[in-house]
Structure 1
């Protein structure tokens, strides 16, 4: 009898142990089922490359277009993009932001070159830490940046020279504005422009002034050129706000007889072309700059070495570009 009770006790303990074991197994599987999605999500977030785009000026329309292109490419390639920059153009602030971004251990950085030794040192530091840096809009030559993405500025300057030479009949006097005398892209545009103008003995540059990327200063400098050099019949600007500034100056000093050539396609510039007050403007592709910069980073992360310079296209916008007969109403 005692053996039977002993056997029944063993069976009962076995059943109880089996039940506990099954319960533990089911609980473990359930917990794994609940945790796995969280675990997968966490791993996915960690695998996303964190890219920081540092703009020249946060709400500048040109840089917002760069951001738009970069953001679309980031979504396509599964990257996290942060867009930062100074509220007003401030190279010192750009340097600080680059320094902070490197310290934050971003996976990649997209910046504008500012032709500054400390800036180049920071770009080199990022490269040594394994953080690829791509310059957009303006290159930072001499640095260890991965690639430059933007306009071929020397060729854009040559294109401007050809437009002016054609309009001037290869003779005349020209006043020129650059956005910033220290900016590499502005100097390349001016150099390309000079190389074309120098081909024509009767075509000359009277003066070159800096607008400091300010419409107000562009107007002041253009007005002073027109007053100081009455022979100037052509005004050329190489930064986005120069066109509107030159137009303002021309309307104050000499409403007729000044031909204006601008850069970029701000609304005021396009409207002035339609009103026959600006002859033409050279238009860059900021959206493509942002998109292509992220695409090159994607290639880099996948083991493909990008080209050192990746040029985006430019186009000439003039009265005929609007296709509404505007050119027929111009003198």
Structure 2
């Protein structure tokens, strides 16, 4: 009996040590802020965490920039924690660690509503406010969604293709993740927009895994599988540049229409060079800034509109001078 008790205590201590080590690796600042001096803590009004899909993604770095600027204004201690590369399990673990850190508010994507619901429920039970950014988790306990109306962004992309092309069009769609709700909505909106145009046909759809090389591989496969392809639609931030790499490697004499998403520098350069024909513009900086402000207002007990859509539009090469002047404000995977 004594041995079983000792074994149980040993197992518990081992679990505690592993938990502390995991915290130290994944959420270093979550541990630090709790052990900080009263003087340091008094510098901040609130402690928020922004959990991106992947840390090194340029799109999410723009969201983080907006959040950081708003955090400075509102005296918020802001952390930017998440997986280095897109991984749903790691994303969920990071949110769980933020909850364990007793933060005041969490900003994150709602990539899979079913899997996020229990976590958001757990956060709310602990008094932690939750705002989804870029991708919503409908039916969950999140209080506010800040970001693009993803169905609408796909719809105006379809309208752009209709306006910019003539004759029969065979479109290859490259999407970041086939199972991600925001990507699905961008595809659905596009399909609905072009469904009434008999001259436009969706030839196929491939996944890029939100990487440039993945987008290039997906586009190359579409080109091989559908020799009649005349147009591409990329639904995530790195798809446009990846599509261009594939079309250039394919050595096709055809002029392929390319419709991309997000104004990352390489995409804008390709638009300026005439390699991309149109770009759907989101506003990640605005998303980050507005998400922090929404959390602050929730902390203050103010009622919030649950859906706070940020702007979406389509730009072409002729729009670049005006657009480039606006970019320092954080226009934008």
CA 1:152–1:199: 2 relative to 1, 3 Å:
same
SS where residue 180 of structure 1 aligns? coil
- Separation of aligned partners in 1, 2:175 and 2:115: 23
Contact residue 54 and residue 85 of structure 1 kept, 8 A: yes
Query: Equivalent residue for 2:146?
Result: 149
CA 1:232–1:64: 2 relative to 1, 3 Å:
same
Contact residue 176 and residue 209 of structure 2 kept, 8 A: yes
- TM-score, normalization by structure 2: 0.81
CA 1:153–1:42: 2 relative to 1, 3 Å:
closer
SS where residue 322 of structure 1 aligns? helix
Contact residue 238 and residue 262 of structure 1 kept, 8 A: yes
RMSD of aligned residue pairs (Cα, Å): 1.9
Query: Equivalent residue for 1:292?
Result: 290
Task: Give CA-to-partner distance per residue, 1:263-322, whole Å, 9 cap, x none.
Answer: 011222111111111101112111100000011112112221111111111232311023
Contact residue 156 and residue 190 of structure 2 kept, 8 A: yes
Contact residue 165 and residue 171 of structure 1 kept, 8 A: no
- Separation of aligned partners in 1, 2:320 and 2:40: 51
Q: Which runs of 4+ in 1 moved over 4 A?
A: 39-43
Task: Give CA-to-partner distance per residue, 1:113-134, whole Å, 9 cap, x none.
Answer: 1215332211111012211110
Query: Equivalent residue for 1:271?
Result: 269
- Separation of aligned partners in 1, 2:246 and 2:39: 58
- Separation of aligned partners in 2, 1:108 and 1:117: 21
Among candidates 188, 199, 202, match of residue 196 of structure 2:
199
1:42 Cα shift? Answer: 6.9
- Separation of aligned partners in 1, 2:209 and 2:188: 18
Mapped pair 1:91 → 2:59 = no
Structure 1 segment 52-131 matched on structure 2, within 5 A = 52-115=49-112, 117-131=114-128
Query: Equivalent residue for 2:255?
Result: 257
Mapped pair 1:235 → 2:236 = no
CA 1:247–1:305: 2 relative to 1, 3 Å:
same
- Separation of aligned partners in 2, 1:322 and 1:265: 11
**Bigger shift: residues 50-59 or 148-157:** 50-59
Which of structures 1 and 2 has the bigger CA Rg?
1
- Separation of aligned partners in 1, 2:167 and 2:185: 22
SS where residue 58 of structure 1 aligns? coil
Query: Equivalent residue for 2:245?
Result: 248
Runs of at least 5 residues in structure 2 that lack an aligned partner in the other structure: 1-36, 323-333
- Separation of aligned partners in 2, 1:305 and 1:257: 51
Runs of at least 5 residues in structure 1 that lack an aligned partner in the other structure: 1-38, 325-331
- Separation of aligned partners in 2, 1:43 and 1:221: 48
- Separation of aligned partners in 1, 2:234 and 2:196: 20
- Separation of aligned partners in 1, 2:88 and 2:123: 18
Task: Give CA-to-partner distance per residue, 1:29-83, whole Å, 9 cap, x none.
Answer: xxxxxxxxxx9947834x7211111111112111111111111111212221111
SS where residue 96 of structure 1 aligns? helix
Among candidates 303, 318, 321, match of residue 319 of structure 2:
321
Task: Give CA-to-partner distance per residue, 1:92-130, whole Å, 9 cap, x none.
Answer: 111111111101111111111121533221111101221
Structure 1 segment 295-310 matched on structure 2, within 5 A = 295-310=293-308
- TM-score, normalization by structure 1: 0.82
1:227 Cα shift? Answer: 1.8
SS where residue 80 of structure 1 aligns? strand
Contact residue 171 and residue 200 of structure 1 kept, 8 A: no
- Separation of aligned partners in 1, 2:157 and 2:167: 13
